[in-house]
Amino acid sequence: MDIQLKTFAELNLLPPLERALKEQNYKIPTPIQAKTIPPALEGKDILGCAQTGTGKTAAFALPILDFLGGDMRKARSGRPQALVLAPTRELAIQIGDSMRVYGKHLKLRTALVFGGVNQNKQVREMQRGAHILVATPGRLLDLMQQGHIQLDELEVFVLDEADRMLDMGFLPDIKRVISKLPSDRQSLFFSATMPPKIVELASQLLSSPFRVDVTPKKTSVKKIKQKIVYCERSEKVGLLHKLLRGEDVGRVIVFTRTKRGANTLAKKTEKAGVPVAVIHGNKSQAARQKALKAFRAKKVRVLVATDVAARGIDIDNVTHVVNYDLPNEPESYVHRIGRTGRAGAEGIAVSFCSGEELDYLDDIEKLIGIKIERDPNSVKPAWKPKPKQGGGQRRGGGSTSRRKGNHKGKRSKSSLGNSRSSKRGPKRGKRNTKENRRSVVA
């Protein structure tokens, strides 16, 4: 299905959603939205290969809101109708914010569940009832075990950033969540990359999915100006401080491989007179939010981060990403540099590469399929063994699905269609019928 949508009006979304999009000044659906929303509105499972920054959140949020907004069932205590699993607290919060913005004129409730904070408020929210739950896997399972959340009425399940979830060791948690989902549901699965393990997980979760691919690895990274600066490890601090003094350098995210490395670098950089914010997995949720707020509000222009903490963060006008340490997982390189060059802006990614990291560089170039430009003033260092692995990464993850028709098992597409139209139909008449939806993609 090659869909060329030029306006949101063509999607035939509920008027309150169209209003919210107008208020956000969204005029044209992004490619992932244009490709995902029509089949998702039809109730199809989706396998989406896309990174954050592509408009992916609205691609799954709008069909969910349209579906639930057309139905307008009363939210039941502890029993969400839609679940979005995300790998990190930051991403979960961001998705929750987007749900609230797009669903502003609908009377739907979105609850957030993530670790690192006291659970009481989250439990109260669930007891009050929420139509949509955005969660990280660990806390979700905790609250499910305690009996505060049941997924037996779930209709849509979204797994977001699946590859990241796996990198962070969430596979067992995800499988436990999936085992509790009603088999009769809609599932939306998003991942920036599709290594074999992800393909396997997707095949377990999805039924005849509609495949959407908007980020062929090789072209996505080509949009960002990338450079390798060869150096010794001991030279990195000086190189970074020199770079930060550059005239064209605005907002910068600096990635380190370990949490300890992030702390040390932050101290040295502050000492050199450049205020920084730091986020990594050992920081409390409040400290992470505070750091992000300061960076967003431009109170500090440098953010030092580890991979996990920075995952999915949507901040515009990041002029430079600096890989202070090269990541040991090549996919992380693609995610990291994707923090710059957002919303069509030009981005620059500078990576420091010492002798210990030459093997990582090889892996990265193999993955992205291009040879990254070398700084002509830097000299390739002698090869050294890789540094010891450390800190930085733990858990995270997310996904989306929608329940397909009755609750007794997966159904054929035609029966699915009937059940959907009866679900969404009567209250909003013509707008919300299955037939009407079909016409969107015909």
Distance CA 273, CA 104 (A): 43
Out of 29, 31, 48, 137, name the contact with ligand AMP by CB under 6 A.
29
Nearest partner of 327 among 239, 242, 252, 392, judged by Cα: 392
- What is residue 51's DSSP assignment? -
Residue 157 CB, shortest distance to ligand AMP, in Å, is: 18
Q: Which range in 23-31, 158-166, 191-199, 256-264 contacts ligand AMP by CB under 6 A?
A: 23-31
Residue 199 CB, shortest distance to ligand AMP, in Å, is: 22
Out of 16, 17, 18, 26, name the contact with ligand AMP by CB under 6 A.
26
User: Can residue 347 be called a binding residue for ligand AMP (CB under 6 A)?
Assistant: no
User: Can residue 57 be called a binding residue for ligand AMP (CB under 6 A)?
Assistant: yes
Distance CA 13, CA 60 (A): 13
Do the strands 399-403 and 185-191 form a parallel or antiparallel pair, or are they unpaired?
antiparallel
Considering beta carbons, is residue 317 or 412 the nearer one to ligand AMP? 317
Residue 37 CB, shortest distance to ligand AMP, in Å, is: 10
Instruction: Compute φ and ψ for 109, nearest 5 degrees.
Output: -105, 135
Considering beta carbons, is residue 20 or 279 the nearer one to ligand AMP? 20
Distance CA 363, CA 191 (A): 20
CB 110 within 8 A of CB 64: no
x/- map, 293-322, ligand AMP, by CB under 6 A? ---------------------x--------
Residue 78 CB, shortest distance to ligand AMP, in Å, is: 28
One-letter identity of residue 270: E
Three-state secondary-structure class, residue 267: helix
Out of 30, 122, 332, 399, name the contact with ligand AMP by CB under 6 A.
30
For residue 262, the cross-strand partners are none
CB 186 within 8 A of CB 43: yes
Out of 12, 36, 54, 354, name the contact with ligand AMP by CB under 6 A.
54
For the record, the structure tokens of 44 come out as 């199809």
Out of 12, 52, 193, 306, name the contact with ligand AMP by CB under 6 A.
52
Instruction: Compute φ and ψ for 106, nearest 5 degrees.
Output: -110, 150
Considering beta carbons, is residue 10 or 235 the nearer one to ligand AMP? 10
- With a CB cutoff of 8 Å and minimum separation 6, the contacts of 319 are 248, 249, 250, 251, 252, 340, 347, 348
Out of 55, 281, 338, 417, name the contact with ligand AMP by CB under 6 A.
55
Out of 38, 43, 53, 347, name the contact with ligand AMP by CB under 6 A.
53
User: Can residue 64 be called a binding residue for ligand AMP (CB under 6 A)?
Assistant: no
Point out which residues bind ligand AMP (CB under 6 A).
Answer: 26, 28-30, 33, 52-58, 314, 343
